[in-house]
């Protein structure tokens, strides 16, 4: 990966984390949490969402691969075998 692509990826990652953090902060603030507890809930929600995304994205890729392989034949050139 070249230097320009790496910078773009880092910038997009930071934007994603900042967006999730601000959204979590807004949820905690609107929920009535004030003071130091706001920071605790903010960190809990932010990193909880990031951890869930880190688990869901690879799981989604694996699940879609499983669905694709279970409904298609491994030999794409061959004729399907029919039992009569």
DSSP string, 6-48: HHHHHHHHHHHHHHHHHHHHHHHHHTT--THHHHHHHHHHHHH
Q: How many whole angstroms separate alpha carbon 29 and alpha carbon 21?
A: 12
Q: Are 45 and 37 in contact (CB under 8 A)?
A: no
pTM value is 0.58
Q: What is the DSSP letter of 75?
A: -
For the chain, the structural domain boundaries read: 3-70
Q: What is the pLDDT along the chain (84 residues), one digit of tens a residue?
A: 788 999 998 999 889 888 988 888 888 888 888 887 888 888 888 888 888 888 888 888 888 888 877 776 655 555 566 666
Q: What is the pLDDT of residue 72?
A: 67
């Amino acid at each position: 990966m070249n230097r320009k692509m790496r910078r773009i990826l880092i910038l997009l990652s930071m934007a994603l984390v900042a967006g999730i953090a601000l959204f979590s902060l807004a949820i905690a603030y609107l929920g009535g949490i004030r003071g130091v507890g706001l920071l605790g809930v903010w960190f809990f929600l932010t990193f909880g969402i990031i951890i869930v995304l880190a688990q869901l994205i690879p799981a989604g890729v694996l699940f879609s691969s499983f669905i694709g392989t279970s409904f298609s034949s491994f030999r794409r050139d061959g004729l399907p075998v029919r039992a009569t």
